[in-house]
Amino acid sequence: MTERGKESATLRWFKELLPKSVRKKINQAAHQEKYKLALKYYNQLKAELDKDGKEKWLKKRGFAKSKGVIVGDIDTYLNKMAADMAGLNYREWQKVRGR
């Protein structure tokens, strides 16, 4: 095991010993930049959608209504795109947006 691997395993072990609330705060601090990036990307997508209109926006992105790719609320799809782009889990992103 490399030195970095040993250090990483030790930190994970130590982190598991901490109370759940403390681990949650550590994860939030570690992912704060990802949250900001996802929010920025979501706002850009939303602005582009408002400017172009839903039909034109879908066509520009290569989605056709007949294919059934977009089902349901377009806002949910925008949130999923933003979360995926920032490397976040969709549920985690929804919790952060709810705050």
Per residue in 19-62, pLDDT (tens digit) is 989 888 888 888 888 889 999 999 998 898 888 887 787 777 77
Q: Give 97's Cβ-side CA count (13 Å radius).
A: 20
Do 9 and 53 have their domain in common? no
| pTM of this structure | 0.65
Same domain, 26 and 36: no
Same domain, 18 and 45: no
**Same domain for 93 and 56:** yes
What's the number of domains the chain is made of?
2
- Shared-domain flag, residues 69 and 24: no
Question: Rounded to an integer, what distance in angstroms lies between the CA atom of residue 17 and that of residue 11?
Answer: 10
Whether residue 50 sits in one domain with residue 72? yes
**Does one domain contain both 41 and 17?**
no
CA R_g for the chain = 18
Domain enclosing residue 43, as ranges: 31-98
> Measured between alpha carbons, how far is 19 from 30 in angstroms, rounded to an integer?
17
